[in-house]
Amino acid sequence: MHASKYHINTLKEAPAEAEVKSHQLMTRAGMIRKAAGGIYTYMPLGLRILRKIENIVREEMDKAGAIELLMPVVQPAELWVESGRWEQYGAELLRIKDRHQRDFVLQPTSEEVITDIARNEIHSWRQLPLNFYHIQTKFRDERRPRFGLMRGREFTMKDAYSFDRDEASAQSSYDAMYDAYMRIFTRLGLTFRAVAADTGSIGGSRSHEFQVIADTGEDLIVYNPDTQYAANIELAEAACLIPQRGAATDALNKTSTPDAPKCELVAQQLGKPLSDTVKSIVLATDNPDDPAQATIWLLLLRGDHDLNEVKTSKLEGFENGYRFATEAEILDSFGCVPGYLGPINTIKPVTIIADRTVANMSNFICGANTEGFHYTGVNWGRDLPEAKVADLRNVVAGDPANDGGQLAIQRGIEVGHVFFLGDKYSKALNATFLETDGKPALLQMGCYGIGISRIAAAAIEQCHDEKGIIWPKSIAPFELVICPMGWHKSETVRNTAETLYQELKAQGVEVMLDDRDVRPGIMFADWELIGVPLRITIGDRGLKDGIVEIQARRQEAADKVAVADALQHALNLLNSL
């Protein structure tokens, strides 16, 4: 490709609304242009990146035995009603009406349509296992679409769906996809981690996320640096930090703690470590049969720990959801304003659940249900009955790992997710097949997503510098750019550049020759911003000595190479990237 026949249009400034690096850099490099909030045109350079990611994903999916098809963007509401998601899915599901006022959705995923296809196409156990996938435009009507391709409304996703006879076979399909994902993200040149994850709104019994490691990631990953263990913090089990409860040595004391509605302030006032305090979190679960009657819960966490909302949502009694209690409800049950609440002497009985660590604390500090007062020297059994115990908190760095050593935490960007669905959708849509005994059985399903467009953004978040993007070679829009200094003036430069261009092309290198009439500084800045992995600079000054300059985007300085060696040197460097 010659740049003069292409469309290169870089910008000096990123739009003010671009908060994250990938959004800023993709816009400045001319890879995306905004059409509306969260909706972008992929400009030529951006589309090349997207297609390269798609192709790697497609090749590995095909190798893993998945079969590509293409389900529509616009899907009939009937199927979503059948699965229950028409009701369950929130405002992110864009619902539309056609000219006859019939309901449709713009697909965010395709569980319903593929299960409908499966129930029509799969008749016999002889056809199983089957795994269908497509790479298709998705739409999620985010309330505040920001962050460019990181969280767009219209985006490209690969989603695959496996169908099996039984759970063991479905587990094999799941494992095959897990392995394929490992190969995909490795080939994409990303530093990533597969982590155990919550199944969320998709449902199913187990799942793994594939997280690109980046400081700007929204997800927190808990991992053991010494083992294979890694889990999303939402799911990561938090150990009890106190192996054995200490003796009740201190007396219970109602202590004045004015203007200390937070553990940090209490600890400060009392001159105690924060880890001696216990925080009280009051939740409510509504009674679907009697909306006026909510159940009030008191969750206890150590003062330096945070509530894990996913774990909370899985507590017994929380099946229909939970919320934070209102101030009125708190006053009604505790007779006290928030900030000084505790488990001792509540006005009405509340169900108390203590985090594992709290359950082993002794001589601790908690609210006294009187404004401006806390209890010190609190002990289980003596001052209050033993409570229900559960894992309620987020892991913190340094926590002991179940498999030895200490847990660490890093940030990640979720780019893939595999789910073991079981019969969630096949049951709802009655998708069965005939077993060997001639009787119908429910299909066992898995689903497997990869955010194609998000990968582009995640790669940038993971690797960029002050000059611009640094692409992994596998997804760079071009592998190599030739920058001739004085293309329009020097025939020698022109001939050398064109010859090298043709030689590199013949070797299968995706090469761009920048024959634009722009100053060297602008040319270099453009390609550093765009992030092409390798650059060859050819100028009259070097050519006098028979020299061209070859520089990897990651290199500090260029290699000076004899013209005759340039091709081989460039190929070697490319291979090493």
- Residues in contact with a copy of itself by CB under 8 A are 5-7, 9, 33, 35-36, 39-44, 46-47, 50, 65, 67-76, 91-92, 94, 96, 98-99, 102, 104, 106, 113, 116-117, 120-121, 127, 130, 132, 137, 139, 141, 143, 153-154
- Collapsing DSSP states into helix, strand and coil, what is residue 341? coil
Nearer to a copy of itself, 99 or 439 (CB): 99
How far apart are alpha carbons 122 and 183 in whole angstroms?
A: 29
Alpha-carbon Rg for the chain in angstroms: 30
Nearer to a copy of itself, 377 or 451 (CB): 451
Nearer to a copy of itself, 139 or 340 (CB): 139
Nearer to a copy of itself, 128 or 222 (CB): 128
Nearer to a copy of itself, 3 or 350 (CB): 3
Instruction: Name the residue among 471, 466, 494, 481 with its Cα closest to residue 535.
Output: 481
Q: Minimum CB separation from a copy of itself for residue 337, in Å?
A: 36
Q: Minimum CB separation from a copy of itself for residue 9, in Å?
A: 5
Q: Minimum CB separation from a copy of itself for residue 66, in Å?
A: 10
Q: Minimum CB separation from a copy of itself for residue 413, in Å?
A: 22
Q: Minimum CB separation from a copy of itself for residue 518, in Å?
A: 11
What region, left, alpha or beta, does residue 84 occupy, with left being phi > 0 and alpha being psi -120 to 50 degrees?
left
How far apart are alpha carbons 42 and 31 in whole angstroms?
A: 6
Q: Minimum CB separation from a copy of itself for residue 187, in Å?
A: 21
CA-CA-CA-CA torsion sign (18, 21, 23, 29): positive
How far apart are alpha carbons 470 and 207 in whole angstroms?
A: 31
Burial class (CB in 10 A: 0-12, 13-18, 19+), 476: buried
CA-CA-CA-CA torsion sign (118, 122, 125, 129): negative
Nearer to a copy of itself, 5 or 439 (CB): 5
Q: Minimum CB separation from a copy of itself for residue 470, in Å?
A: 23
Nearer to a copy of itself, 35 or 562 (CB): 35
Q: Minimum CB separation from a copy of itself for residue 4, in Å?
A: 9
Q: Minimum CB separation from a copy of itself for residue 175, in Å?
A: 18
Cβ 535 vs Cβ 479: under 8 Å? no
Q: Minimum CB separation from a copy of itself for residue 465, in Å?
A: 26
Nearer to a copy of itself, 141 or 286 (CB): 141
How far apart are alpha carbons 109 and 131 in whole angstroms?
A: 16
> What are the distances in angstroms from CA 102 to CA 74, 106, 107?
12, 13, 16
- Collapsing DSSP states into helix, strand and coil, what is residue 194? strand
| Cis peptide bond N-terminal to 385, omega within 30 | no
Strand locations in 379-497, DSSP E?
388-390, 408-422, 432-434, 440-442, 444-451, 464-465, 468-469, 480-484
- Residue type at 434? L
Nearer to a copy of itself, 141 or 565 (CB): 141
Nearer to a copy of itself, 74 or 347 (CB): 74
How far apart are alpha carbons 368 and 184 in whole angstroms?
A: 55
User: Which neighbouring-strand residues pair with 420?
Assistant: 206, 446
Nearer to a copy of itself, 123 or 489 (CB): 123
Burial class (CB in 10 A: 0-12, 13-18, 19+), 12: exposed
Q: Minimum CB separation from a copy of itself for residue 120, in Å?
A: 7
Q: Minimum CB separation from a copy of itself for residue 144, in Å?
A: 10
> What are the distances in angstroms from CA 23 to CA 138, 153, 325, 465, 472?
19, 14, 38, 14, 18
Nearer to a copy of itself, 72 or 486 (CB): 72
- Collapsing DSSP states into helix, strand and coil, what is residue 157? strand
Strand locations in 508-557, DSSP E?
511-513, 534-538, 547-552
CA 244 to chain centre: 37
